[in-house]
Structure 1
Amino acid sequence: MSPRADACRVLTPLELAGALTLIWVLILRLFRRNIVAFWLAALPGVILHEMTHWMVAFATFGRPGFPRFIPNKMGNAYALGRVPIHNPRWFNGALIGLSPLLLMPLAYAVIVYGTPWRFSWLGGWQFILMPLIAAECLLECIPSRPDLRLVSLSAIPLGIVGVMAYLFWLR
């Protein structure tokens, strides 16, 4: 294959979807200066973020409350959503707090399984929508400070249980 032919290579659909995801991430980051525009742009990701908290809290008996998606000013920052957890315990705090990390494999699955394998006019909407959903997942997959505070409730007990399990496994 000549160097000229290699330079003119066409992107595969997955490469195009990955590039469009990065472009969407950059576009969505531009809205950070205006809270109303940012809230509207980030709302699908905020819903996904809070629903991961809700589902993991429900599965681990954390008794989640009704999720709220109205922005609240907290000091210098805004909280775009929240899910009250009525039963945080040592065994579920870390799982609930780190649950937004589940959005990373979701973003991967959306790109890999949601992108069509061939270019067509009928599938064109998928080349716009799937990278947007993946970008929302990637922007909202980072746990917030209140999430990390919830993780700290169970870090020491889970660390002790982990060390005990490791020592038991060595024996």
Structure 2
Amino acid sequence: MSSLFECSVLAPSWFCDHRDILIYLAPSLLLALLIRALSARHPFFFLFTLAGTICHELAHFVAGLVTGARPAAFTVIPRRIGQGWELGSVRLTRVRWYNAAPSALAPFAVVVLPFMVAWWRTRSGLHFQWLDVALAFAVAPQFLACWPSTTDWKISLRSWPYLLIAGLAWGAKTGVSSAIGT
């Protein structure tokens, strides 16, 4: 007979299977929200976003190298742009339809880092140590850095042929499926 408070009774099985990782990441996620709120109030708090900014811009840089977009400049020094701030940038000199989306949307890969750290720290069970406080400050900005900026999204639209190809492939699959009767 299962207890009313057993994990599988209260939550989905994927949560129960990975609860140590998710519990480990909860303080970092809350810290990320705090960093975001504080950095919106004063530029001093950009210092706490630096680890995330470096990873975000490195993702663009590496994706640009791999896809042939030729990265030419890399900076993580914040600068004022209109009413807001640009925390970093990578200048790509050869953005084409085939490499725009992979290069611009590369920061999505940054979200893997917190989960890798959490897996490493919870392999032998959930045990918080002083090292985990420092890791929380290093991991928190990654949650903020994994979302592409507005400029990144605009650049990714240069890969519109991907949308056309995906739409044609989906249409062909749907047409074949309906012709077969599935």
TM bin, normalised by shorter chain, reads 0.7 to 0.9
Q: Is 1:105 aligned with 2:112?
A: yes
1:83 match: secondary structure:
strand
Aligned length: 161
Equivalent in the alignment of 1:29: 36
1:38-49 alignment, distance < 5 Å: 38-49=45-56
- Higher normalized strand content (fraction of residues): 2
After TM superposition, the structure 1 stretch with the greater mean CA deviation from structure 2, 146-155 or 111-120, is 111-120
Q: CA RMSD for the aligned pairs?
A: 2.7
Deviation at 1:168, TM superposition (A): 5.9
2: distance between equivalents of 1:34 and 1:166?
47
Residue type matched to 1:113 in 2? W
2: distance between equivalents of 1:51 and 1:3?
47
Deviation at 1:39, TM superposition (A): 1.9
Gaps of 5+ in 2: 8-18, 177-182
1:10-21 alignment, distance < 5 Å: 14=21, 16-21=23-28
Q: Is 1:159 aligned with 2:163?
A: yes
Deviation at 1:143, TM superposition (A): 0.7
Equivalent in the alignment of 1:88: 95
After TM superposition, the structure 1 stretch with the greater mean CA deviation from structure 2, 17-26 or 94-103, is 17-26
User: TM-score, normalised on structure 1?
Assistant: 0.80
Residue type matched to 1:42 in 2? T
Equivalent in the alignment of 1:117: 124
Query: 1:67 pairs with 57, 67, 74, which one?
Result: 74
1:42-57 alignment, distance < 5 Å: 42-57=49-64
Identity %: 26
2: distance between equivalents of 1:84 and 1:62?
9
Deviation at 1:3, TM superposition (A): 8.0
1: distance between equivalents of 2:52 and 2:38?
14
User: TM-score, normalised on structure 2?
Assistant: 0.75
2:94 match: secondary structure:
coil
